[in-house]
Structure 1
């Protein structure tokens, strides 16, 4: 697509996901919220709760306040994913900590055999670090207070999506009139494209094995070329896979150390399911 047009020539979809846990494949989206913006106006919105595959823990419920009872009769993601896909069409997406949200939705698009959007994504966490100064941190709620935005209810998807939009607009204003999408992408310091979060269609054998283990709750024996036990076989219970600009990783429970750990994909050697 053409990245050289001024920002006001594009439509934007700011979105947020609340999830049943931190890791794609192993966890699910439990609330989706989005707002579409074009040339100074809100032109569409989506918001709905979604039923996860498994009950949420009290720890997760404490983060977003969405209870198991609230989602008990909600549709599953498979019933809503096409509507989400259509809502995104032709728009640049905005999200706060965008790699997190892109990771979850890319998996859902691939499970539904829907094409990944071709448009780039902008991360308001990264943009705010470049363009918004004088704040103690760049968390969404800190920026909401600093910019005096009506943030609604924190950690609810639509309200956070709308807050994200207004953080982006504040950043765009600081960039100056006529700034292009290419310049905005450059200013966030990282290229964020949907295709870079592909997992379910990945042809790499070790990723296929890990996905199967996560979905079917199986253990694996894995050789890891890192840490204090470099090259040794470890028995793990995989929890989820994260694709990240700073390095893709597997989150898994280590049987030997009895703790959850992060294993970088580029250091993972042979992986085999335990039967």
Structure 2
């Protein structure tokens, strides 16, 4: 006998979700060269788009895997090297499949396998994963069918049980068509148990706990607006903070099977209330989330709870300055770095590029008399500790650091590049590779730091982005911080709204340091929003520009280094 779902309260009309008969499903199957999404390749796509029991379209193609197909896979699928020789490569097929499946619920038999390959392909070729709802017919079958009725939930077994019109053959389109028949049969079963909507179907899958279902009432009354939500525990403590473009819809997902993270299911079991802060648009929500995370440090959030805990590289204040890692930056510091390891990598590259001494000895201004270290013998240090280099002789190294970080000169980067070329010519490839990776880290840090500093230097910037309904979203940014946010809906004159937002905006008093006291993560969030296509600058207190010799000029080199790590290409 199939098990009935746990009793649930009657849903209001606006909580019923998307009826299954109106839900578009893309049922798909892949054939591959093996079982590892990271190491093996796709050889065939097959997909069927359905809605309301009708087939809307099909998608099928062989894929050239770029490697030989193992004999055991040929025996299983019948797909040979000759068959895929003229087939398109995955980089051509993937965008076509993503377009075919856009906006639909993905369905697969053992969905973790097939979805895993597609997600890995998206990472490999730079496509964002759209995070669709996913239904696995194996898991749904195990939930609906008893062991007596279906001892096995293999696709061939279920296709036979439900008398599918197409039987699986280990070819992608045939298997997808067989899965369509299995899905329809399973949906008929759950329909008789009262599962009528997509949300209820996802809620019915086993991973959702009884505690999650009972707490669905916590989402009642929440607005369908963008904003921030806070799960609170029995002592009013903040357990978790998140953002949403639709607060009600997002919070309800925590009480369905779409929430599979064990940590957050545990959080839901402790929660007694959900508070929300509605926001004008997603940028304001992101910034408010960062500020709430810093204020409450919720136990169940894993990131952004310590916005001041980034690492920075700075020069020490002594006669012969050296590089040091600090938490609180001062003017001229390089950063921010999320990890100490990355900061140390960049610091090593900066030392090699500029000639700043790598030791930590504090050297007096007058009559230094220490014994030189091995680096002096290797001509990698001028030995100021032994009096072999005066403060005036050492000054060019300090100037090179400051000029590189400020974006005034790029000579130091060219020196590192020449060193890599020399190492490669001498067949010292391992050391050349190490230097290349350090240079990549340094360039990224310089580029990011210079862009953040340029934004934080602006006393006031007003920007606008078109919304999806013909209106405008506005942001008032002061020294890198979001000081005010608002919208002008379609038909509302925008400039009076801008003036009102600016008049009511938060006063920001700049502090010391390259970001004028603003948290690096907040400046990064604001910068990403400003960088999006379609954003317009309404006005600026002074021109927003980057240094003439910023690390941005090395982005082409960086792209080449990222795509060919073992190739040392000279900078144009």
Identify the TM-score tier after normalising by the shorter chain.
Answer: 0.5 to 0.7
Q: Return the offset for 1:188.
A: 2.4
**How far off is 1:178 after superposition?**
5.7
Higher RCO, 1 vs 2 (CA within 8 Å, ≥6 residues apart): 1
Cα distance in 2 for partners of 1:189, 1:182 equals 14
Provide TM-score, normalisation by structure 2. Answer: 0.33
- In the other structure, the counterpart of 1:179 is 196
1:82 CA drift (Å): 0.7
Where does 1:239-258 land on structure 2 (aligned, <5 Å)?
A: none
Distance in 2 separating the partners of 1:34 and 1:7? 19
Equivalent residue of 2:143, what SS? Answer: helix
Selected match of 1:88 from 89, 101, 104: 101
Offset of residue 189 of structure 1: 2.0
Kept in 1, the 8 Å contact 2:53–2:184? The answer is no
Deviation at 1:152, TM superposition (A): 3.9
Q: How far 1:150 moved relative to its partner?
A: 1.9
Unaligned 5+ segments in structure 2 are 1-14, 208-256, 260-337, 342-572
The alpha carbon displacement at 1:161 in A equals 0.7
Which residues of structure 1 form unaligned runs of 5+? Answer: 194-202, 206-275
Give the CA deviation at 1:115: 2.0
Partner residue of 1:46 out of 48, 59, 73: 59
Shift of 1:184: 1.4
- Assess, with a 3 A threshold, how the Cα gap between structure 1 residues 131 and 178 changes in structure 2: closer, same or farther: closer
* Pairing of 1:1-275 with structure 2 (within 5 A): 4-133=17-146, 134-176=149-191, 179-190=196-207, 191=257
- Higher share in strand: 1
SS of the equivalent of 1:182 reads helix
Deviations 1:119-154 (A, max 9, x none): 210000111111134122000000111111022451
Calculate the TM-score normalised by the size of structure 1: 0.66
Of Structure 1 and Structure 2, the greater helix share is in: 2
Deviations 1:20-69 (A, max 9, x none): 11101211110000000012210111001001121011112122121111
How big is the alpha-carbon RMSD for the aligned residues of Structure 1 and Structure 2? Answer: 2.2
Please give the secondary structure, in 1, of the residue aligned with 2:107: strand
CA contact (8 A) 1:15 1:94 kept: yes
Rounded Cα–Cα distance in structure 2 between residues aligned with 1:34 and 1:166: 13
Deviates more, 1:75-84 or 1:179-188: 179-188
Shift of 1:106: 0.5
Q: Relative to structure 1, is the Cα distance of residues 153 and 40 closer, same or farther in structure 2, using a 3 angstrom cutoff?
A: closer
Deviations 1:170-204 (A, max 9, x none): 111111266121221132224569xxxxxxxxx99
Aligned length: 195
Residue 149 of structure 1: SS of its match in structure 2? coil
Structure of greater Rg: 2
CA spacing shift, 1:97–1:192, aligned 2, 3 Å: farther
